[in-house]
Amino acid sequence: MIEKMKFVTITGPKRDFDRVVGMYLNKYSIHLENALAELSSVHELKPFIETNPYKDTLAKSEQLVKRLKNKDIQASALMPPDKAGETIEAIGKELEVPEAAIKELIAEREHYTELINQIEPFRNLDFDIKKILDLKFINFRFGRIAREYYNKFIKYVRDNLNSIFYECNSDREYVWGVYFVPTSLSVKVDAVYASMHFERIFLSYEFEGTPEEAYRTCLSARNTLNNSILRLNEQINGLLAERSEELITAHNSLFAYSSNFEVRKLAACTREKDKDEEFYILCGWLPEKDEQNFSEETGKDPDVYCIIEDVRKSVGAKVPTRLKNPRIFKPFEMFVRMYGLPAYNEVDPTSFVAITYSIIFGIMFGDVGQGLCLAIAGYLIYKLKKSSLAAIISVAGVFSTLAGFIYGSVFGFEHIIKPLWMSPMENVMTILLTSVGFGVVLILISMLLNIINSIKEKNLSRLLFDTNGLPGLIFYGAAIACVLLAFTGRPMPAVFILILFFAVPLLFIFFKEPLSHIVEKKAHIFPEHKAMFFLENFFELFEVLLSYVTNTISFLRIGAFALSHAAMMGVVMLLSGAETGSSNIVVIVLGNIIVIAMEGLVAGIQVLRLEYYEMFSRFYKGTGKEFKPYNINKSI
């Protein structure tokens, strides 16, 4: 079902805006619309433009709240905006000293990290770094060379150079090391190393001792800094924990005031001629069930004037849709939302989907044991995770269980219980014909729903000339009736009856465009190119007739999946040796798990395909706009 809506207009003194928003919009579910757009015909309206004074302080409070370890603290009532701002500023000042200290320590830690990365590849060099850096007549070059060039260097160059290369470390890509060269030859040798893509690394003069000793010194210093940062963070967390309730209350207050302030973007302002005071105007949608309470409460408020109207064509905005279904059908709203919410004046297909999806899935996947597994597993997951899909699986599992009793199948065993109707594999043709008959009923219901939607929309063209309107229903119903008469051996109706139920509906469908123009009182009835019109409509009519046949045959998949399920379980029984009287329990358990997982998934997808393509496409557009009430109680 779609909840009935009322269009509400609220106005009052501009100075009273925040009180009204906090009092009424937070208490009642109201979907706000842009007042300037809705009241475009009203003169002398202007936007409600003001700068949000809470925005910056709210951003600070959000950063502080994110740092709280325990966010499940119950806040007290909202505090005034000035006090909330002062509270956030005070807490921020308390944290300034430790935060500044942390910033300095982090910068120092980054410096030591850089030193560690610099010296780490040379840890195997067992020589004092200071002595290397102080060499006068010998030049040194720390660096790395790519593995491919290093191999060439070793093979062709190293023995011909007046230098010593000491390898310190290596991996798949690079070799790290240091080479020594006399100062007088360094220019030539440096050029050769550069041609081998030697990348020089400059070591800091801060290092003391050997590279290994320098590495350990830097690592120890960085660990000390980490411990200092950790202690300061614990100090900050302690300060926040002490004032957590006060912080949460201030944050919630600022969030509420900021959200209330943002409503100004949807409001309009006006000024009466004889008065200096400005007035605000708010527009939106109110559920019909709240109309009386809202009217009574605002009627007692001297500073609020409220008008509540029925849904009218003069209202510019599309009426939002709020679904209201019984608890058992509510999970199936997920499938409806995936396709698109119904428009306000459309039939809500949730109950139709819930019933048809469950029945079709049960027919396709009929087994008492496997159905119970799906029902129980889906129910447990729903209880733990509140997943709509899990609830759908549970309901589908119940119908699979019922279908299992009809087929007489329990975990693939077809001789434990007596079937209430028949076993699929023993009555293949009956199963297939029954599934087609069931599909015919669903198509007819879909056409009836399309007719209802056409009436609700007051769309005569769709009602009188659409392939799924009255002519389509009459033609398809007559065709099915003739097929049934032929199968049962009964005489066909008179020629006049056949013409009335076949030719006339097809003519209405064929001349849909000109007939629609007549109904809509348009000047041009037929298009300019009449020959092209007749040719196109002939092929379109042929496509319509073909679609009636293919859509009906499409429901064969219901029976086919029932047979497929029985066949797969027959294979499991054969592999387990159940036919010979010595069943392998492991094979039966694994076979059932595979069938439940694989065929259950495929059947679920195929049922959804039937819902969308064979039924929804006939009557449902799904062009609705979701009802989104203003609510300041949002999570951070």
pLDDT tens readout for residues 515-571? 888 887 777 777 777 788 888 888 888 888 999 999 999 999 999 999 998 899 988
SS3 call for 619: helix
Q: How far is it, in rounded angstroms, from Cα 269 to Cα 281?
A: 6
pLDDT of residue 80: 85
241: confidence class by pLDDT, cuts 50, 70, 90 = confident
Q: How far is it, in rounded angstroms, from Cα 475 to Cα 482?
A: 11
pLDDT of residue 290: 92
- For the entire predicted model, the pTM comes to 0.75
CA terminus-to-terminus distance, the chain? 32
Give the mean model confidence (pLDDT) for residues 75-81. Answer: 75
The residue length of the chain stands at 636
Of the two residues 198 and 276, the one the predictor is more confident about is 198
Task: Tally helices (H) and strands (E) across the chain.
Answer: 25, 12
Pick the CATH number of 127-209 from 1.20.1530.20, 3.40.50.11890, 3.30.70.2750, 3.30.56.10: 3.30.70.2750
Structure-block tokens of residue 481: 């009736």
Burial of 290 per CB tally in 10 Å (0-12, 13-18, 19+)? middle
pLDDT of residue 312: 62
Q: What are the Cα distances from residue 17, in Å, to 20, 154, 562?
A: 5, 82, 63
Whether the pLDDT of residue 601 is over 90: the answer is yes
Cα-trace Rg, the chain: 39
Cβ(61)–Cβ(88) under 8 Å? yes
**Percent of the chain clearing pLDDT 90 (strictly above):** 46
Residue 623: CA count within 13 A, CB half-sphere: 8
- Parallel/antiparallel/unpaired status of strands 320-321 and 278-287: unpaired
Whether the pLDDT of residue 581 is over 70: the answer is no
- The average confidence (pLDDT) of the chain is 88
Give the mean model confidence (pLDDT) for residues 94-104. Answer: 92
Buried b / exposed e over 262-287, threshold 16 CB at 10 Å, is ebbebbbbbeeeeeeeebbbbbbbbb
Q: How far is it, in rounded angstroms, from Cα 478 to Cα 498?
A: 8
Q: Which fold has domain 5-48+267-320?
A: Alpha-Beta Plaits (3.30.70)
633: confidence class by pLDDT, cuts 50, 70, 90 = low
Torsion of CA 134, 136, 142, 145, to 10 degrees: -170
pLDDT of residue 604: 93
- Parallel/antiparallel/unpaired status of strands 31-33 and 198-200: unpaired
Domain with CATH 3.30.70.2170 in the chain: 5-48+267-320
Give the mean model confidence (pLDDT) for residues 221-246. Answer: 91
pLDDT of residue 634: 47
pLDDT of residue 635: 37
Burial of 530 per CB tally in 10 Å (0-12, 13-18, 19+)? exposed
pLDDT of residue 526: 78
Give the mean model confidence (pLDDT) for residues 260-287. Answer: 84
Q: How many CB atoms lie within 10 A of CB 74?
A: 7
pLDDT of residue 636: 35
25: confidence class by pLDDT, cuts 50, 70, 90 = confident
Nearest to 370 by CA among 155, 592, 189, 552: 592
pLDDT of residue 68: 84
362: confidence class by pLDDT, cuts 50, 70, 90 = very high
Domain with CATH 3.30.70.2750 in the chain: 127-209
Whether the pLDDT of residue 395 is over 90: the answer is yes
Provide long-range contacts, Cβ within 8 A and 24+ apart, for 163-168.
163/189, 163/193, 166/125, 168/121, 168/122, 168/123, 168/124, 168/125, 168/211
Beta-sheet strand order (sheet of 164-170): 164-170, 174-182, 138-146, 198-200
pLDDT of residue 632: 57
253: confidence class by pLDDT, cuts 50, 70, 90 = confident
Torsion of CA 490, 493, 495, 496, to 10 degrees: 180
Q: What is the pLDDT of residues 162-219, one digit of tens each?
A: 888 899 999 889 999 999 999 888 898 889 889 888 999 998 888 889 999 999 999 9
Give the mean model confidence (pLDDT) for residues 130-137. Answer: 85
Q: How many CB atoms lie within 10 A of CB 288?
A: 14
